[in-house]
Structures are given as structure tokens and as C-alpha cells.
Amino acid sequence: MTQLDIQNLVANYPLVDRLIKLEPTCWFNFNITSLAEGLPYVGLDQTNIADASERLTRFAPYLALAFPETAATNGIIESAVVEIPAMKKALQQRYDVTIAGQLLLKKDSHLPISGSIKARGGIYEVLTHAEKLAIEQGLLSKEEDYSKLFSDQFKQFFSQYSIAVGSTGNLGLSIGIMSAKLGFNVSVHMSADAREWKKQKLRANGVNVVEYEQDYGVAVEQGRKAAESDPKCFFIDDENSKTLFLGYSVAGQRLKHQFNEMGIKVDREHPLFVYLPCGVGGGPGGVAFGLKMAFGDHVHCIFAEPTHSPCMLLGVYTGLHDNIAVQDLGIDNLTAADGLAVGRASGFVGRAMERLLDGFYTLSDQEMYHLLALLDKTEDIQLEPSALAGMMGPIVVSQHSDYLNRMHFTDQQLQKATHLVWATGGGMVPQAEMAKYLSATVD
């Protein structure tokens, strides 16, 4: 983009100026519609989510065997929801704001197998591919017990095929570990942001790690190229995959069950606000889609990004989607939130979900570090920096009476609201690494 193009963009979209200056920014979506109006643009529906859910149920006996840590949940990969009242108190004090309603944390950070939200979409897409290959070759039928996949015969079968993916870290972990366990040859193309321990863990699991000195976009492009030359190689496309998206979406119905068990209501009188850290968009987009399908118009999804990587806010706000990258504006895409270090958002997710998302905001790395330390101190829960992006959400919403008024929330409804912060990763961060995160905070 030329300087003139940027000036024109700023003239039409004034918040772009704040993004360029790396100032924390929030934008509440004026184009939001009801689920009924917005759903046709997604191009997916409840039958697709049910299909994904059934596929995960078919694979559950296999997962329970292959990953004993999932045996307790019978091979279903799901995380706990916990109340964090001490953190709520600390947040209110730190930001001098009242958060009406209760504050909960969704601990995808502690999902089994790979310790991040990517254990939903990433693993699901590998399983989908494996099932397709095995069924095509007449080795498996959907009615069978899938624990038969945990065998040398199947490992040998899958070893004829390969899988490739580009990642900032966590998607690579999920896809690498799952693919290698099934027997695939798997290559993970890692961007410069990827943490060393994640690469080591992958190598220890027999995964081929290819390192790049550039960012996520380059790692994905190179991964795609490497896969193109090999007809037996399947490239998992984080930027456009509907399969990944559907793997994430299953979370909606699951959360509804958890809320039922906990006695938490979601309806007109009890609105639900959900805060989701966003990188390329597949994870938060898929989860938000599932939440909308489960809770309808009473769930309000808000995406959180680092000030240095505000790709989804930029894409949706300007309507340019994947036709613009933060680097086009001179924003460097360098952030400690490695899971969110993405310069160009998924065009598929932005276009599919732009009518169903209430808002977007950015926060600084320093703020994420503060929140990381605060959660550690108040609740003894340890997360990676990316996973704290959503923690600012209840503050941002509580401070924006313009948004709350436009949406016609009454005080009474807000008192009965639930704020759910989606903790997207950190359960597998080594202790020494976590100590570094904790000491990075200056108060």
C-alpha cells in the first residue's frame, strides 16, 4: 500500500489510525445481525456440527487407548469451566471498573494431548483425514469400533501418507502429535515466533520440524508448496479450512451441557459474553459459530488480538478481510502472544462470521503479561500470554456503555450476565518457561 492508500483508508476508517499507532483499540460491530439473518452467510449449519460431533464420538475409543490421559473422559477431549472470583476482584481493582455478573474461565489451556484450543480443530482435521483414507481403502467402516486404529497394521497403512501444516506453534503441536500417533509422516512448518520447547516436544514425538525466520504467513506458504509436490501429502490449511472450523464448533453444544450441569442460565435475562483470543481466526471463529448455534442470540462473542497483530479487527472493520495484512500498514506483527502472531486474517472466517460477532479489541503485550501474573497470583492458574488476551474483555465491555446501550441491555440483565474468558493455551508450558513469563511483568 502507498502512503496515499493508507491515508484514504484512515479517512474512511478512522480506527485504522489507532491500529497503526499500536494503541489499544476496540470496535463494537454495527453490522451485527440476528443469528437467523447471519447464518446463511456462514454456509454451514447444525448438521455439519452434528457430523463433527459424531466423528469425534466414533474416534473416542481410539483416543482413550492412544492417549491414556483422555481415558477419564472416555476419549472425549474437553476442558473444565471454573469460576474465578478472586481474579474478578483483582480486575475490578486494577482497572477501577465494576464487572456486573459472574466471571468464568474456560480452560482449553488444559485440554489433553496438546494443551491448547488447537486440540479441538487440529486433532479433528487429522482424524477426519485418517478416517477418509481408511474408509476409501476398505479398511474401516463407520459402524466399527475405532480402537482397531491403534495397531501396527494401521500405523503401517498411514505411514504411506504424509501431512503438512504451517504454524506459530500450537496448531503444529496438535497436528504433529496426532498425526505421528496414527502413523503419518508429518511435517510442521514453524514460524519464527514458535517457542523452542514446542519444537523439541514435536521432534521427541517423531515429527519433522521445518523452521523459518519469517512469520506465520511465510511458514504456511512454504508448507503448502512442499505439500503440492507430493500427491500423498495432505496440507492442513489453517487459513481456509472448514474442517478445522467445524472441529472447534463442537465446543458450543458441549459448553451448553456444562452450563446445564452447573445451573448457569443463558437467555434474554441472562446474557452470555464470551471473549476469544484471535490469531488467523479459525479457533475463535469456529467456537463462536458453535456458541451461536447452541445459545442463539443470547451469546455475545468478542475477539481479542495483540496491538501488534490486529489482523481480524482490521479485516472485518474495513471489509477488506484477507486482502489486507497488518504489515501493509507498517505494523510489525511481533508479539509475545505467539499463538496470535498472525498478520493476515482468514478470509473465510471473517466473511462467514462478520455478522455474528459483537466486537473486537486489541491489548498490548505488557497488559497480557500483567494479566498472566494476576491470574497466577489470584487463582494459581498458569496460562501462556496469548491466552490472557480475552481476560481484558469483561473490562472493555463494562467500560463501553455506548455498546451496552445500543444493544439495549438493562442493568438487571447485566447483573445476571455471565462473562466467559476462553483460556486458549498454556497447560503444557515448561516450568522454567512459565517462570520467565511471570518475571516479564513489571508493575
Ligand X SMILES: *Cc1c(COP(=O)(O)O)cnc(C)c1O
Contact set with ligand X (CB under 6 A): 116-118, 170-171, 277-284, 339-340, 342, 384, 386-387, 424-425
Instruction: Output 9 or 375, the one with its CB closest to ligand X.
Output: 375
CB of 437 to ligand X, least distance (A): 13
Grid coordinates given for 76: 472425549
CB of 260 to ligand X, least distance (A): 26
Residue 138, sorted as left (phi over 0), alpha (psi -120 to 50) or beta, turns out to be left
Instruction: Output 183 or 283, the one with its CB closest to ligand X.
Output: 283
Instruction: Output 60 or 388, the one with its CB closest to ligand X.
Output: 388
Residue type, 66: A
Grid coordinates given for 198: 514446542
The angle at the Cα of 141, spanning 139 to 146, to the nearest 5 degrees, equals: 85
Instruction: Output 116 or 398, the one with its CB closest to ligand X.
Output: 116
Rg (CA), the chain: 21
Residues 204 and 176: their CA atoms lie apart, in Å, by 11
CB of 112 to ligand X, least distance (A): 15
Residues 336 and 385: their CA atoms lie apart, in Å, by 7
CB of 125 to ligand X, least distance (A): 12
CB of 387 to ligand X, least distance (A): 5
Question: What's the Cα-to-Cα distance from 203 to each of 194, 209, 220, rounded to whole Å?
Answer: 14, 7, 19
Q: Which residue has the cell 479487527?
A: 313
Instruction: Output 174 or 187, the one with its CB closest to ligand X.
Output: 174
Residues 406 and 32: their CA atoms lie apart, in Å, by 11
DSSP track, 357-406 = --EEEEE-HHHHHHHHHHHHHHH-----GGGGGGGGHHHHHHH-HHHHHH
CB of 191 to ligand X, least distance (A): 12
Residue positions counted in the chain: 443
Closest CA to 251 of 84, 107, 70: 107
Closest CA to 305 of 346, 263, 339, 261: 339
Instruction: Output 271 or 281, the one with its CB closest to ligand X.
Output: 281
Instruction: Output 183 or 277, the one with its CB closest to ligand X.
Output: 277
Instruction: Output 373 or 404, the one with its CB closest to ligand X.
Output: 373
Instruction: Output 108 or 294, the one with its CB closest to ligand X.
Output: 108
Residues 280 and 293: their CA atoms lie apart, in Å, by 21
Burial degree of 330 (CB within 10 A; 0-12, 13-18, 19+): exposed
CB of 382 to ligand X, least distance (A): 13
Question: What's the Cα-to-Cα distance from 130 to each of 133, 137, 209, 246, 374, rounded to whole Å?
Answer: 5, 11, 21, 16, 42
Instruction: Output 38 or 281, the one with its CB closest to ligand X.
Output: 281
Neighbours of 193 (CB within 10 A): 24
Task: Cite the beta strand spans of 168-269 per DSSP E.
Answer: 185-190, 208-211, 233-236
